[in-house]
Amino acid sequence: MIALAAVLAAALGAPLSYECLRAAAPVHVDGKIDDPAWQRAPWSSDFIDIEGDSKPRPKYRTRVKMLWDDRYLYIAAELEEPDVKATLTQRDSVIFKDNDFEVFLKPLPATKSYYEFEINALNTGWDLFLPRPYSEGGQADNSWDIEGLQTAIGVQGTLNDPRDKDKGWTVEMAIPLTAFAARQKVPQPRAGTTWRINFSRVQWTAGKKSEDNWVWSPQGVVNMHVPERWGFLHFSGKSR
């Protein structure tokens, strides 16, 4: 894994970084991303192909923004999509069988362990804990649930109706900072704390055998489970 990470770093450069501002007030999670606090949070760069700039640019735009306070890490995502659709309604389904949005979070950067959350346009989620990457013998722990998680979806168009053209869908979530306690002791972040994080969008195209994978910080390989390539999430004491 170390050798692979070195090769990818040489080819792709350093992983991306995001300065996560403090929310001036608690964010109301309704999928609309219109709270005043969000206006102060910068958008990330647009997602690119999981392998990097050597591959074609994604046909639909995806970007995220983040905030935090003493209770939550807030994440908002905007996904351009002319035909918003989803089928899975059972929690902890394999959500990437639908078009989805995924969060990969490593609050203890020095460890091998990390967390994953996937969501579709029906607001169906899948949360799991990985004690180590699959390539190192890790097995997904689907029994971990993000207790107190708040999520909401906004559809700019009509869900599961191909007769019209949609603008896209938005995801809004509040991840409790206490959610990791069932698996690990994670210190409360403060200004200056750094976690590792990445985001993925799985996009299925009719007639295409495999899915597109669009990400924030490129992995260099078609594999999200290379945490060394995830971006850096810097908790800031600033609120703009």
Instruction: Locate the domains of the chain by residue range.
Output: 2-235
- 21-44 pLDDT, tens per residue? 999 999 999 999 999 999 999 999
pLDDT at 6: 62
Least confident of 35-39, 83-87, 96-100: 35-39
Tell me, letter by letter, the H, E, C secondary structure of 88-131: CCCCCCCHHHCCEEEEEEECCCCCCCEEEEEECCCCCEEEEEEC
Average pLDDT, the chain: 95
- 161-218 pLDDT, tens per residue? 999 999 999 999 999 999 999 999 999 999 999 999 999 999 999 888 899 999 999 9
Structure tokens at 96: 């990437």
CATH architecture of 2-235: Sandwich (2.60)
